[in-house]
Chain A
């Protein structure tokens, strides 16, 4: 029922995960370089994929690169930086349509892989550094992106809550770093950082599509032939045990129409823990679905919000409740939310809520099998969390969760930080 990856290693130590399947009309390739998240290197990590994406030795500028991709039937090349737990992951992707829908005879895998290899492993350099114009231009773009976090108020409020809650932890680092960190980066320093990362840090390469494994191994070996250390650097695990001496309250005022309420909790449960499945069920009953308590009580019964939900940051062991409300309804909304948390803790959970949540979670897990992107990101999550679950394992885990375990989760969960974005003056 579920397809799994076959695992290989390229001669230089890159891990290659292949999933041959004829389900999709595409060939999906993705490369991830793992690095630790911390304030000192966050801007470097974010800048690196942005600069590499501008051009390589073979495709020296974006225009040349994009034209090459267009000739490969609009193959899509992406470069990004991901934050997951206290891991910072440099991500590249290339998705091409499968040849069989174009009446072609199977060269798109090799060509797409070659572009990906060129951009990541064979960058454009001048005088011992990256090209100056690109570094300068991408610094400006990233500084602009950091400022633009303000534009979407829902995600702004979420990021603010996390930053305040985890101000003294590595996790409090914004995924693009801070504006002032960019001043100090020059093209030579960035290049030597690149060389070090690609030499020492773990790299995973995923390929999904209607393909022969042999063919993929050969294409990947050719495209990623740069040399790497035999010993890979070990990355520190995510710290999840920080105590909460008292609940902190932060309020910010801005010229907006709707107030945003964000509550940050610590669950003290890691991705690889035995309590991971009970935590999924806990958050599911509380606020991950339209049948969940938060949606039913805050929205459907009281009519106070359009969106209200709980989300997990699985690797950091956080749970975050978010809602958009009228500022005047703050106390009422908080009361209802608090009551739901109390009900979770005292076991006021109906059989229906429990069953529906189990089914909903299982439905999500199964559905992930239908998207190459999700197949890749769930496996990546396993690498980050140090434990790879198969879909079947998680499904069985969720089915087995009982009330006792949910209660144990509820007893551990602690509210850490309340963040409110209030309509008023200000916002810069």
Chain B
């Protein structure tokens, strides 16, 4: 049953998005892209690795999860009573996949043929869970190998070690896949409980993009939901531990087989965790600008560090925030972490003293605007990111216009607030000492 419809038009990007809402609360977005061979669909739930403590209104009972359940569930949905879901997509020439982030789990396919049948498969398998003792046990073996692979991955380790250094309690500090120990606690009952909460249509959304007729897709999704007898569900209350303002650990060092040290430096953004959605998106854009002005390849610092062989082309900085956490992170491989660290902190200090010039600000603004436009070539980029913004009530198509509206003063304010030396931490992966 269609509850709502609207058009989202974006003149800068020349895009028109069709937004439908169906009972009991599922959002569908259709972005027509004429001339594309590929059609891409993603069905996402607002359930990620950080959602490990929750209750559902009006029930006061709180469920606490071991780490890695969202990701485990993602793996397990690909199997049902009829067997393996991959085969059904393969028979229609589609390429299916899935991923789990801190805040969402997404199931997707791309195809160039049989779109409607593939979309039905996607809608069906995600809405039809099947978990048994046996299949859960087998998956513990597969995910165990996934965890081991990441344990050997130095860039992944340095990233999560830094998050664990920045955060004392917030679950963003834990690996998305969990640990060997935490996944051993997962049972079919637990998966069903999470499934029945987070996979309710009111907590989910579908995005499709390609050479498609929006109303036709709308009708198909509507029909798929109609036969399923959904009841409205109470609000999901996600419970997060009170995160202290201070960091957890100033410096984390792990030994791994690497050619030279890898250093990541992070600033915990305590302010972001308290912002409403609108200001949060603005802050992300401002921090993207600030970090590019400080550490980008068109500025003095980057070029000096590169010349001194302290960084390579992969050195980079990024800001990431959600409604209850936020951080800026930068770094890369370096022969001399101490020197690199000193030079970065000095540059942060200088920025606060010297500010940003108008020329710098406009130049980087242009660069970032161009970057947004370039990324809109990719159907995958649009679909995956649109829903991530949507789950926190942001409109991704607003990126260019917000970027055009931000000011240099705002950027400086955000920089001073976030790049606060009292809330930073360091993570290092180093080669074992030579014998």
Say yes or no: A73-B90 contact (C-beta < 8 A), given A304-B145, A363-B95, A367-B112.
Answer: no
Contact of A307 among B86, B149, B374 (CB under 8 A): B149
Whether B87 pairs with A352 at a CB distance below 8 angstroms is yes
Complex Cα distance, B14 from A66, in Å, reads 28
Give residues 280-330 of A contacting B (CB, 8 Å): 289-291, 295-296, 299-300, 303-307, 324-326
**Total interface residues in chain A, CB < 8 Å:** 78
Q: Contact between A140 and B309 (Cβ–Cβ < 8 Å)? A: yes
Interface centre among B297, B371, B378 (most CB of A within 10 A): B297
Q: How far is the CA of A312 from the CA of B108 in the complex (A)?
A: 26
Which of A71, A255, A295 sits near B366, CB closer than 8 Å?
A: A71
Q: Are A370 and B138 in contact (CB under 8 A)?
A: no
Query: In the bound complex, do residue B37 and residue A366 qualify as a contact, i.e. CB atoms below 8 Å apart?
Result: yes
| Cβ-defined partner of A305 (8 Å) among B86, B142, B256, B377 | B142
Q: Which residues of A contact B152 (CB under 8 A)?
A: 153, 256-258
B27 at the interface (CB under 8 A from A): no
* CB proximity to A under 8 Å, residues B344-387: 363-364, 366-371, 373-374, 376-379
Which of B49-57, B122-130, B257-265 faces chain A? B257-265
Are the CB atoms of B91 and A356 closer together than 8 Å?
A: yes
Q: Is A137 an interface residue (CB 8 A)?
A: yes
Question: What total count of A-B pairs have CB within 8 Å?
Answer: 203
Give the CA-CA distance A95 to B12 in the complex, in Å.
19
User: Is B5 an interface position by the 8 A CB rule?
Assistant: no
Q: Are A101 and B13 in contact (CB under 8 A)?
A: yes
**Contacting pair B333 A306 (CB below 8 A):** no
Q: Which residues of A contact B393 (CB under 8 A)?
A: none
Cα separation A24 to B379 with both chains bound (whole Å): 11
Contacts of A71 in B (CB 8 A): 363, 366
Minimum CB–CB distance from A31 to chain B (whole Å) comes to 19
Interface: B312 (CB within 8 A): yes
The answer to whether B111 has its CB under 8 Å from any CB of chain A is yes
Judged by a CB distance under 8 angstroms, whether B143 is at the interface is: yes
Q: Check if B84 sits within 8 Å of A23, measured CB to CB.
A: no
Q: Tell me if A337 counts as interface (CB < 8 A to partner B).
A: no
Q: Does A147 contact B (CB under 8 A)?
A: yes
Chain A residue with the shortest CB-CB distance to B333: A148
* Beta-carbon contact of A25 and B373 below 8 Å: yes
Is A355 part of the contact surface with B, judged by Cβ < 8 Å? yes
Closest to B151 in A: A257
Q: A6 in the interface, Cβ–Cβ < 8 Å?
A: no
The answer to the question of B434 belonging to the interface, with a C-beta cut-off of 8 Å to chain A, is: yes
Q: CB of B146 within 8 A of chain A? A: yes
Given A258-B151, A356-B87, A427-B257, CB of A303 within 8 Å of CB of B374: no
- By the criterion CB–CB under 8 Å, are A147 and B259 in contact? yes
* A153 nearest in chain B by CB position: B152
B93 interfacial by beta-carbon distance below 8 Å: yes
Contact (A150, B141) CB under 8 Å given A258-B148, A364-B95? no
Known: A63-B300, A144-B312, A152-B153. A359 touches B377 (CB 8 A): no
A367 touches B37 (CB 8 A): yes
Contact between chains at A95 and B299 (CB < 8 Å): no
Interchain CB contact (< 8 A) of A96 among B92, B296, B368, B370: B370
- A354 → chain B, closest Cβ, in Å? 11
Partner of B376, one of A25, A289, A291, A371: A25
CA distance A151 to B260 in the complex (A): 9
Structural contact, A370 and B257, CB atoms closer than 8 A: no
Q: Is A411 engaged at the interface, CB distance under 8 Å to the other chain?
A: no
Docked complex Cα distance between A326 and B36 (Å): 42
Question: Shortest Cβ distance from B36 into chain A, in angstroms?
Answer: 5
Which A residues touch B214, using CB under 8 A?
none
Given A73-B373, A102-B373, A372-B377, residue A256 in contact with residue B90 (CB < 8 A)? no
B38 on interface, CB distance cutoff 8 Å: yes
Distance in Å: Cβ of B89 to nearest Cβ of chain A: 8
**A62 on the interface (CB 8 Å rule)?**
yes
Least distance between A358 CB and chain B CB atoms (Å)? 8
**A62-B303, A304-B141, A359-B90 as given contacts; A151 in contact with B148, CB under 8 Å:** no
Report if B337 contacts A (CB, 8 A). no
**Residue A75, interface by CB 8 Å:** yes
Quick check: A141 and B258 within 8 Å, CB to CB? no
Q: Are B12 and A150 in contact (CB under 8 A)?
A: no
Tell me the smallest distance from the CB of A422 to a CB of chain B, in Å: 12
Contact residues in A for B86 (Cβ distance below 8 Å) = 289-291, 295, 300
Contacts of B309 in A (CB 8 A): 137, 140-141, 144
When distances are taken between beta carbons in the complex, the residues of chain A under 8 Å from B186 are: none
Q: How far is the CA of A289 from the CA of B142 in the complex (A)?
A: 17
Whether A74 lies near B143 (C-beta < 8 A) is no
- In whole Å, how far is A364's beta carbon from the nearest beta carbon of chain B? 7
Q: Are B148 and A324 in contact (CB under 8 A)?
A: yes
A153 and B153: CB pair below 8 A?
A: yes
Q: A147-B259, A258-B151 are in contact. Are A67 and B91 (CB under 8 A)?
A: no
Complex Cα spacing A303 to B87, Å: 17
Partner of A362, one of B93, B149, B431: B93
- Using A76-B374, A97-B374, A360-B95 as known contacts, say yes or no to A370 and B36 having CB atoms under 8 A apart: yes
- Which chain A residues border B279 with CB–CB below 8 Å? none
Contact (Cβ within 8 A) A303 B139? yes
Interface residues of B in 143-180 (CB under 8 A from A): 143, 145-146, 148-149, 151-155
- Which residue from chain B places its CB closest to the CB of A290 in the assembled complex? B86
Q: Is the CB of A151 within 8 A of B90?
A: no
**Docked complex Cα distance between A76 and B371 (Å):** 9
Give chain A residues whose Cβ lies under 8 Å from the Cβ of B298.
Answer: 63, 66-67, 69-70
Which residue of chain A has the shortest Cβ distance to B262 in the bound complex?
Answer: A151
Task: Given A352-B91, A359-B91, decide whether A70 and B363 contact each other with a Cβ distance below 8 A.
Answer: yes
- Expressed in whole angstroms, the minimum distance between the Cβ of B118 and any Cβ of chain A is 10
Whether the Cβ atoms of A73 and B95 lie closer than 8 Å is no
Kindly list chain B residues whose C-beta atoms are within 8 Å of the C-beta of A95.
374
Q: Are B377 and A371 in contact (CB under 8 A)?
A: yes
8 Å CB interface, B297-351 against A: 297-300, 303, 306-307, 309, 312-313, 333, 335
Q: List 18 A-B contacts (CB under 8 A).
A: A23-B35, A25-B373, A63-B303, A70-B366, A74-B366, A74-B370, A97-B370, A149-B259, A150-B259, A151-B155, A255-B432, A256-B152, A291-B90, A305-B145, A326-B148, A355-B91, A367-B37, A367-B38
A254-B257, A255-B257, A366-B113 known; 7 new pairs, CB 8 Å cut-off, are A24-B377, A70-B298, A70-B366, A72-B370, A147-B259, A150-B259, A257-B152
Pairs of residues from A and B, 5 with the lowest C-beta to C-beta distance, nearest first: A73-B370, A359-B93, A74-B367, A74-B370, A427-B257
